[in-house]
A and B are shown apart, each in its own frame.
Chain A
Amino acid sequence: MRTLHGSTQYHARHWAPRGGAIIGTFVLSLLASGCETGERRPMERPAAPLPAPRHTVRADDPAVRGLSSESRTELAASPVPMVLLGAEYAERTNVMVGERWCALTAHTTEGYHLSIHATDNWHDADEGVDLNPSGATPTATVRGRPAWETVNEAIRSLSWDEFGVAYSLEIECDRPEDDTRCSESTFLTEIASHLVYGHVVDETYLPAGTSTGSGSVPGGSVDPVGGAR
């Protein structure tokens, strides 16, 4: 370890440059030294034991009914409560799940596509690590919850928490620089306002007093389809 340009640098292996006799043939010095970096790793919080899943899908809702059978099967296997896009996107929606997450995408022919990601695998930072050094606060709202809105390389996203799950909704445009659906908030906010709860894991999973229903869902009852897995 040494200091260059006033900053601490860590030296490790070398890579060969392109072309020519590549690998160095003469190692001048090997300094096998244990040097602590002070690196930390976030703690992956063990999930609290959950009651046995009692999968329920709002099978009556057009946003669910319009999904492909593959997506419905995946949705039913979701380990987390999942929101869906409005019914107009259902036929173009692909749902997929993992051990601790559920995601969907919806590709359109209008030069953009949407995606949603949900996970309940929360990570805790080290004690003393400031996760919000600027004191910023969410500026948007999704489903009545405070939401962060940001843009990443022209991909606009909204993220919020609900039922102990972290959600994000994104839009990516084929021509991002001149497409206001990505460069401005309005379009994505409108999409978010039509999200539908398509799947819950278990009512007891949810905090008391919350509802799985969406204001945009026209009255449908919750159908148990526990055998869908």
Chain B
Amino acid sequence: MSARITLCVAVIALLSSAGVAHAQSFDPPGALVAGSGRGRVDETVWAPTMRFPMEYGPAYANSQVYAPGGSMPPSGRGGGQCDSYNYGYPWRDNFCETRRWDVALCPSGHGHQGQDIRPGVCTSGVVPGVAAAAGRIADIGSYSVDLVADDGTRYEYLHMNRVAVREGQRVECGDVLGYISNAFGGTPTTIHLHFNIRMAVRGVGSAFVPPYTSLRESYGRLGAGDACAPPMDAGVRDAGTRDAGRTDAGRTDAGRRDSGTSPSSGMCRSTTLGRNVSDGECVQVGAAVASCGTGCGWARCDAGAWTCISDLSTCGGTTHANGECDPVGGTCRSDTLGRNVEHGTCVQVTRASCGESSCAWYRCVDGNWACTELTACSGESVANASCDNVCVGTRGVCGDRLECCGGRTNSNIECFEGYCEDTTMCLPNGDTSCGTTVPDGTGLPHCCGPMICGLDTGGTPECCGVPGEPCTSADDCCGFEQCTDGMCAPQETGESCMNTQECVGADYCTDSGVCGTD
């Protein structure tokens, strides 16, 4: 039953500004930091459809303990938690890292049950943690948020602050749950997300399963701008070439109802798509499947059961054309994607075309492809992973507006102080409402860009800059930070503070209001 996945593209990039290569790289599963225990060598992708649990990258999966700023740093290596050692590739698995905790799947029988992931910036409360799947918030503790997906898989997020959801709330894939921080029941840890995947595993029971490979795959989809798409869709984008083998091959017996869903659930199991779909959605079966005619027929999900149809206008606006079949209506066949796309969809190709040597954009117009500019694309825009144009999400790190996914179609989206932002919908510096309003799950309201909702020296919440952020005066910075050479400067050990983010290195703001570690 092994489903072998073809992994993608090797990209070597030279970044002009810093001259630093930031090619992603990933140590294999089970390869722990030397001296940190024995890892589990297991390529199983336990949660193949999950979304990466941070809204945007970069992110760095590695150990919090066996690292600078941790309790067991590498020999001869100093530095605090913000050390560059911790904020670079390769990723490192730390499932089964030495702990006393019993874990059946670990070679030693005990170890670390999840994966630690650092956000792209060493600042608490900035990077959103987002739903890895659609489901419900089953539990919120003093430093934990548990999301249970529809299929019963539990995704556990530890050490978030500014939690933006409530227990029982329904969330969709990618919804903001909270912000990555160092919260740990009153005793701060390093700024990171401890991420667990727990599911019922036959022979073990309710088990913590290794999350590393699932994270690695979902990170790839995030970088491709396809964070919440099922893997069969994400995979076809890898090489920018025709993916003949991925057009639902082996999944062509659509039409069976999923016995695992309840009769009233309004969901149908599509083996063509490899997932359930909702009532009203239509799926085109493969060319060799005669369940609705002689092949390439259409089936609609009606009250949990499939009905063959011939009129696509009854599909409630959601159709899933099959890449094995000829385009229908206003759709276009994309060899790059290995499937058909709807009118208005734009696809980026790698071959020389449209007057470009590579990476030109095409738009599907009434069943035909037309060369286009990205800014003219009003529907889905599918970037090619081989091209140098990262779509970094709605709040990702950016250097240019067009790097922001929404910036391609929404003129309100700007690259604000290095972050994609809709500046009409976020809070400016000095706004004190950030401390009185709870984000509603859509990410709003939040402080624009890299600012946090911190405290001023009088203890009033306000949007303010953390060390390293631009400023014109100390008023722009959080707490007691000073504005030095146009940048907010951190408070040293022993100096006054209001927020941990003000403090240098691994210091936090102690109960006595000074930066320190005790």
How many chain A residues touch B (CB < 8 A): the figure is 97
What A residues does B152 contact at CB under 8 A?
98-101, 119-121
Chain A 88-123, CB-CB to B under 8 Å as 1, else 0, gives 000000101011110101000000010101011111
What B residues does A34 contact at CB under 8 A?
6-8, 238-239
Q: Using CB atoms, name the residue of chain A closest to B14.
A: A26
Total contacts A to B, CB within 8 angstroms? Answer: 363
What B residues does A39 contact at CB under 8 A?
3-5, 7, 43-45, 213, 217
Indicate if the CB atoms of A31 and B11 lie closer than 8 Å: yes
Indicate if the CB atoms of B13 and A94 lie closer than 8 Å: no
Indicate if the CB atoms of A37 and B5 lie closer than 8 Å: yes
**Which residues of A167-195 have CB atoms within 8 Å of chain B's CB atoms?**
167-168, 170, 172-177
In the assembly, what is the distance between CA of A11 and CA of B91, in Å? 11
Task: State which of B99-107, B286-294, B306-314 sits at the interface with chain A.
Answer: B99-107
Q: How far is the CB of B28 from chain A (nearest CB, A)?
A: 5
Indicate if the CB atoms of B10 and A33 lie closer than 8 Å: yes
In the assembly, what is the distance between CA of A134 and CA of B395, in Å? 44
The main secondary structure of chain B at its interface with chain A is loop
Indicate if the CB atoms of A22 and B17 lie closer than 8 Å: yes
Interface residues on B, range: 35 or more
Q: Is A208 among interface residues, defined by CB-CB distance under 8 A?
A: no
Chain B 163-206, CB-CB to A under 8 Å as 1, else 0, gives 00001100000000000000011110000001010111111111
Indicate if the CB atoms of B259 and A42 lie closer than 8 Å: no
Indicate if the CB atoms of B185 and A12 lie closer than 8 Å: no
Q: Is B240 among interface residues, defined by CB-CB distance under 8 A?
A: yes
Q: How far is the CB of B51 from chain A (nearest CB, A)?
A: 16
In the assembly, what is the distance between CA of A29 and CA of B206, in Å? 45
**Which residues of A36-68 have CB atoms within 8 Å of chain B's CB atoms?**
36-49, 53
Q: Is A20 among interface residues, defined by CB-CB distance under 8 A?
A: yes
Indicate if the CB atoms of A126 and B1 lie closer than 8 Å: yes
Q: Is B465 among interface residues, defined by CB-CB distance under 8 A?
A: no
Known: A15-B397, A39-B5. A47 touches B259 (CB 8 A): yes
A-B contact list, 7 entries, CB within 8 Å: A13-B11, A26-B13, A27-B388, A33-B10, A39-B217, A117-B138, A123-B46
| Other A-B pairs, 18, CB within 8 Å; known A20-B17, A152-B208, A168-B206 | A4-B90, A14-B15, A30-B9, A30-B11, A30-B350, A33-B10, A37-B6, A41-B48, A94-B167, A103-B136, A119-B199, A123-B202, A126-B1, A129-B44, A152-B101, A153-B114, A154-B185, A160-B205
